[in-house]
């Protein structure tokens, strides 16, 4: 019965709540994307929106890469350094000759990948090392070798002799498909990038073959230290069941796109707040909440703003050992991974919104029990910009070594601000404010209190004028407690500011061993709130 109610819930949660006395979002970035006289948003490039395709074709359902008369990849700060740039050089050593000579690295890449088949894992490793010679004694490929050894013979033969050559041909189309320089989304920027799914697939193929220059160094003074990794070399090193399942999921994606390339757009939008929220003075009333212990954000949250429990480095450990909520989402929607190419670490009042990412895989389990199950055929409708109507917002929670810290006012404000930033984002084009599909954000390994984190998100959603669908992932007790607490607060017309003041009061008790349960404390004090604050 609960599942049936859950599936019906979103339809009633999609209205923009404007009758609760809450002002519009303070400080949420609004982008000018252009609108015709009827109010329909037009797709067009602006100083705040880079569009990597010819916009005239989008309105006719056609996607062509943006071309320039003399394509030259930029190599200056602020843009992605592309593998085919003439400034991308390496030293080539010739056997029998003293020293070496500087050559265009893209030429080395083309020679390495221009082969009909790969016979063994060593062939793939040899190709990658031809244009990454400086890492010959640094990178290991034990995870990749182990993966291929575990595969069924026919599957391994298909991968080596058919899929990998197709991926190589896709990667080599980079100068054709991605001529427009890709701007880095740095800290403090409010900017969007829209690119075709074909362009994303090409970029990810380059990442798989470890082609992106200047992205392999991790020391503090390196150029991209504050960016996530993008080349796949780290994943190829790790020998574990997790690597096996991750590669299964990634190869499922590449097989699907090489056989039938999707023809749509995906938008990556970095958003930030322009001003702080005075939480203790907020007069916003709580919006609607549906809590459920069944279902997942990506399945039952269709059509809603879906929360990615992100790392500040978006994607977290997707190309490493991580395999929890964010990494799972980036694996089953691999187009999200390309955000790591151009998104700098998120600041305290920033988020990343991705609209249009397609799902390619189904799975079972979680973390060590995660298993790739089968391909997923995404039937989500597309919007007028040819994007899948799937909107994902990446917000990073704090990780606490001492769980008591999370109740302190400073950290309460930080988490409220982060959640509000994500929930108040303005999408491109501007649309109706759907409900937020979320869950135990920042809990688990980050040691967040489920009850506190749920309340923080409920408050942030109220401030952003969005309803909430809250998933507890099988925890019936949490679902019941969150729903009951919300009912108590809403029935008494408690404001966000009043809840915040109660949390501040509770923070003084949190350091004691005899502190009461958070929800018991709030419920026992809520009747004293009338006429206060």
| CATH class, 12-54+61-65+180-528 region | alpha beta
Confidence (pLDDT) at 19: 30
**How much of the chain is in helix, strand and coil states, percent to nearest 5?**
40, 15, 45
Residue 92, strand partner residues? 101
Q: What angle do CA 317, 318, 319 make, to 5 degrees?
A: 90
Confidence (pLDDT) at 16: 30
In whole angstroms, what is the distance from residue 528 CA to residue 350 CA?
35
In whole angstroms, what is the distance from residue 370 CA to residue 365 CA?
4
Cα dihedral 189, 191, 195, 197 sign:
positive
Confidence (pLDDT) at 4: 32
Nearest-10 crossing angle of helices 496-507, 450-463: 150
Which residues lie closer than 8 Å to 152 by C-beta, 6 or more apart?
none
In whole angstroms, what is the distance from residue 433 CA to residue 14 CA?
6
User: What's the pLDDT tens digit per position in 320-351?
Assistant: 999 999 999 999 999 999 999 999 999 999 99
Domains of the chain by residue range: 12-54+61-65+180-528
In whole angstroms, what is the distance from residue 361 CA to residue 273 CA?
34
Confidence (pLDDT) at 33: 32
Q: Which residues are catalytic?
A: 308, 326-327
Segment 148-172 mean pLDDT: 96
User: What's the pLDDT tens digit per position in 377-415?
Assistant: 999 999 999 999 999 999 999 999 999 999 999 999 999
Would you give the DSSP letter of residue 388?
B
| Three-class secondary structure of residue 352 per DSSP | strand
Strand-strand pairing, 391-396 and 371-375: unpaired
User: What's the pLDDT tens digit per position in 188-220?
Assistant: 999 999 999 999 999 999 999 999 999 998 788
In whole angstroms, what is the distance from residue 119 CA to residue 116 CA?
10
Confidence (pLDDT) at 440: 97
Segment 425-440 mean pLDDT: 79
User: What's the pLDDT tens digit per position in 22-68?
Assistant: 434 333 333 333 323 233 477 889 999 999 999 999 988 889 999 88
């Amino acid at each position: 019965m609960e599942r049936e109610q859950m599936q019906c819930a979103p339809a009633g949660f999609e209205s923009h709540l404007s009758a609760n006395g809450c002002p519009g979002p303070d400080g949420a970035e609004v982008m000018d994307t252009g609108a015709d006289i009827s109010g329909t948003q037009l797709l067009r490039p602006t100083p705040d929106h880079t569009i990597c395709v010819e916009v005239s074709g989008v309105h006719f359902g056609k996607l062509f890469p943006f071309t320039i008369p003399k394509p030259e990849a930029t190599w200056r700060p602020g843009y992605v350094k592309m593998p085919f740039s003439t400034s991308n050089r390496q030293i080539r050593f010739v056997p029998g000759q003293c020293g070496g000579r500087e050559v265009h690295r893209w030429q080395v890449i083309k020679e390495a990948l221009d082969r009909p088949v790969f016979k063994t894992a060593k062939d793939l490793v040899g190709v990658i090392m031809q244009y990454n010679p400086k890492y010959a004694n640094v990178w290991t490929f034990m995870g990749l070798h182990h993966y291929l050894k575990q595969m069924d013979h026919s599957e391994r033969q298909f991968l080596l002799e058919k899929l990998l050559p197709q991926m190589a041909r896709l990667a080599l189309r980079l100068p054709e498909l991605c001529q427009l320089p890709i701007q880095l989304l740095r800290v403090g920027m409010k900017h969007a990038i829209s690119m075709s799914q074909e362009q994303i697939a090409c970029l990810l193929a380059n990442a798989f073959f470890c082609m992106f220059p200047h992205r392999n160094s991790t020391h503090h003074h390196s150029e991209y230290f504050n960016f996530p990794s993008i080349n796949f070399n780290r994943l190829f090193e790790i020998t574990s069941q997790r690597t096996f399942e991750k590669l299964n999921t990634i190869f499922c994606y590449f097989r699907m796109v090489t056989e039938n390339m999707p023809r749509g757009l995906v938008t990556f939008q970095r958003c930030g707040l322009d001003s702080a929220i005075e939480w203790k003075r907020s007069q916003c009333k709580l919006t609607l909440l549906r809590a459920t212990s069944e279902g997942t954000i990506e399945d039952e949250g269709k059509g809603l703003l879906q929360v990615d429990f992100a790392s500040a480095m978006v994607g977290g450990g997707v190309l490493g050992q991580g395999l929890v909520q964010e990494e799972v989402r980036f694996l089953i929607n691999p187009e999200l991974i390309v955000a790591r190419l151009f998104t700098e670490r998120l600041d305290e009042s920033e988020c990343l919104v991705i609209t249009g990412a397609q799902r390619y895989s189904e799975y079972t389990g979680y973390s060590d029990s995660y298993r790739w199950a089968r391909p997923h055929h995404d039937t989500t409708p597309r919007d007028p910009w040819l994007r899948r109507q799937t909107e994902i917002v990446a917000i990073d929670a704090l990780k606490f070594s001492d769980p008591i810290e999370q109740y302190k006012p400073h950290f309460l404000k930080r988490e409220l601000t982060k959640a509000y930033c994500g929930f108040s984002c303005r999408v491109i084009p501007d649309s109706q404010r759907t409900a937020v599909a979320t869950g135990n954000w920042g809990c688990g390994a980050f040691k967040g209190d489920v009850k506190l984190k749920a309340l923080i998100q409920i408050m942030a959603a109220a401030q952003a004028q969005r309803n909430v669908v809250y998933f507890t992932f099988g925890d019936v007790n949490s679902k019941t407690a969150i729903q009951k607490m919300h009912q108590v607060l809403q029935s008494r017309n408690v404001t966000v500011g009043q809840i915040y003041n109660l949390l501040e009061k509770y923070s003084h008790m949190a350091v004691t061993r005899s502190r009461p349960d958070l929800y018991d404390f709030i419920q026992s004090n809520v009747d004293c709130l009338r006429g206060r604050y």
